[in-house]
Amino acid sequence: MTPFTTKTLEKALIAKLMLNFGKAPDEATDQEMMKASALVLRDVMAIRKVETRKETRREQKKQVHYLSLEFLMGRSLMKNAYNLEVLPQLKEALEHLGFKAADIFELEPDAGLGNGGLGRLAACYLDSMTTLEIPATGYSICYELGIFKQKIVEGQQVELPDDWKDLGAAWLLPKPEEVQEVRFGGTLREFWDDGHLHIVNENAITVMAIPCDMVVAGYGTQHVNTLRLWDARASHPVDMALFSRGEYLKAAEEEAMAKTIAKVLYPEDNHYEGKSLRLKQQYFFVSATVQSIARNHLETYGTLKNFHEKNVIQINDTHPTLVIPELMRIFIDEAGMSWDEAWEITRQSVAYTNHTVLAEALERWPQSLVETLLPRIWQIIQEISARWQRKVEDFYHDPAKTQKMAILWDGEVRMANLCIAGGMAVNGVSGLHSDILKKDVFKEACGMEPWKFQNVTNGIDHRRWLSEINPGLDGLIRDLMGGDEYLTHPSALRKLDAYADDKAVQERLAAIKRKNKEDFAAYAKKTQGVVLNPDAIFDVQVKRLHEYKRQLLNVLHIISLYQKLQEDPNAITHPHTFLFGAKAAPGYAVAKRIIRLINSLADEIDHNPICKDKLQVVFLENYRVSLAERLMPASEVSQQISTAGKEASGTGNMKFMMNGALTIGTLDGANVEMHEVLGDENMFLFGLHADEVERLKKEGYVPQRLYNRDPVLHNCLNALRKGFRDGVSYEDLYQRLLFGAGGSPADEYLLLADFQSYCQAEQRMAETYGNAEAWNRMSIHNIARSGIFAADRAVAEYADNIWHVPHK
């Protein structure tokens, strides 16, 4: 039941404008109306949150605590209105009060508290946990600046600060009464009392963690959950005693540390200061979170001995790993438990999701840094490590395995191994990824404790990524199904398979896609000044810029098409537009060079008359959630071309599939499961498989042979050296592919090995596109079989198999 009619919503908006801004609707700015709309919906959710909390306590329900250093929430106004089932009423009310609803929604900044897939996944799971009525809280940092705003200047990425909180803070409910103290540095003093060893941290720098709660509404339920974002404040802005002695910098040390902790998402950690700040961020949010959970648990139960029965902490990637020693610290130092009792409870309370097989992404911290910053945590990690090492030695009697599984080794703390040792479950995020974890990355740990290892294939919030962003397709699905059953039972989408050969349905789907393309073309013209041809194939690759995701392979293929066009102006029979969207990490030089290359190529093609209405390349600036919401419904081809065995899962692939785009992809990540439900006939597969990749690398891969043997590839790579009309040479990328650079082997991610197969897949796709009936049939099958990739299914699997909590 919706909380508002259009009329009551109008009254609530008018009242909110008057109370909060002292203005009538005809005096209010669009910004004030956006904030008023957010506050009205926030009030409804806050009331429901009180009821949800009361019910959780009354029935003593087990709670899920989802810890992630990233939550990429995007915009919340339309999403919350949709989930509260008042979106049509809100649009009408805004129009009645003299505002353009679309303008109000567009004003809201993306809450960019994440880099990409990891943070977006966390946001989707929070939505599903709420919809499935699982008592859950997400935890992260209330970053003042989210992921940077990307500006392209002369073809190159420039990072600008992303100050989202001016308007975005309307969703935040500060809870200063629930502040937690987090301590850094200091010295440890030990003493015996009452037969117990007590350890006190003295002279530490204390940072106050202030919770700012963002309330999350589920769909079709009164249940409400919370995203708790921790803001940092100094316990004493200035130490007056030090200030009086003239030690001005030291006097403001606490304030300086507090300000930096919550300032920016992920500082660069390729230098000591960056590593130090990132570790501070991780401990800050973990310590505040665990203290908060323990305090609330004690208020309800009066003891921490049943903590594991009533709480489960899910670690999203290794960033929150310090939850394990922090739980131990609280159980031993504050609750007076023995080591064995504390360890048993900790081990049954924590579960770990691994998101990568890339060795460089499995976090390792310098021992000296942990020892200095977190002396008590360091002591506990040492003890965990020693006991775990003994366990490994007793099981394997093999020094090589002991070294690989060690938590402390060679002056480093290995966070993934700490997660495995201290948790009850370890899961990968796709079938292939979980197999690689079991058989390779964590092979020895799986051999010792096989019961810990599970798979939960990722999922997306289909209500947002289909129904909300693609109303045309949503309308078609509802008409064919006779209702909106799929919103809460995504597997119902499978019924669409029956309409795959229905000409009328195919034509309606084609018309919806055409309208979405026209809408996106208008948006691109307005925001970026670029003119897109809606008759062209919209061939899209949007994701973080990383070498293993192989945007460069896409570029090499486009160069080959461009060269072919110059030899034969009729080589491309149907207009083809390649759209890229990607941010490169600020310190990732190669990724930034690839962005510049894409823009150089786009400029070259744009200025060559031969390419007009045949070939176009566009780099979409500042790719983010709100841009993705416009792009996905308009996309026709989804590029999922990572080196097999490197992508853990991917979720963009699922969003494209759900919106009817067809995939050109390798058998990597969740593409494997997509292939299982789609078959060869409904996607365009290419490239080496994961086992073939490993075999080729073992046998000795020599990319120069391919360069010398394949004239098309030869000419593409030479074009990198020569550069384009802007005069920039990409000799460095040429060298990297053929000879390696900076310690990386030549063509580390096998672009050249897969080049020919990829070009053939693109050719098959272009030929199929010419047959509208075949294309639309494949598109319907993709939509119909995408229900398995809904976050509701993934969260239900976590609930049943790892968390052991009931759900709707």
- Nearest 5°: phi and psi at 670? -75, -10
Catalytic status, residue 777: no
Catalytic status, residue 206: no
397: left (phi over 0), alpha (psi -120 to 50) or beta: left
**Residue tagged active-site, from 546, 655, 736, 777:** 655
363 burial via Cβ count (<10 Å: 0-12, 13-18, 19+): buried
What residues contact residue 338 under an 8 Å CB cut-off, 6+ apart? 332
- Residues 123, 147: Cα–Cα separation, whole Å: 15
Catalytic status, residue 347: no
298 burial via Cβ count (<10 Å: 0-12, 13-18, 19+): middle
Contact 658, 490 (CB under 8 A): no
Q: At what angle do helices 87-96 and 6-21 cross, to 10 degrees?
A: 60
Q: What is the CA angle 650-581-648, rounded to 5?
A: 15
Catalytic status, residue 544: yes
**Residue tagged active-site, from 355, 414, 513, 736:** 355
- Residues 307, 303: Cα–Cα separation, whole Å: 8
- Residues 484, 709: Cα–Cα separation, whole Å: 55
Catalytic status, residue 61: no
**Residue tagged active-site, from 183, 329, 433, 549:** 549
For 493, other C-beta atoms within 10 Å of its C-beta total: 22
Catalytic status, residue 651: yes
**Residue tagged active-site, from 321, 651, 663, 666:** 651
**Residue tagged active-site, from 462, 544, 646, 736:** 544
Q: Report in angstroms the alpha-carbon separations of 97 from 23, 26, 34, 77, 108.
A: 13, 8, 13, 17, 19
Contact 181, 208 (CB under 8 A): yes
What residues contact residue 450 under an 8 Å CB cut-off, 6+ apart? 438
**Residue tagged active-site, from 35, 543, 550, 736:** 543
What residues contact residue 250 under an 8 Å CB cut-off, 6+ apart? 239, 242
Contact 765, 779 (CB under 8 A): no
- Residues 554, 422: Cα–Cα separation, whole Å: 42
State the catalytic residues: 355, 543-544, 549, 651, 655
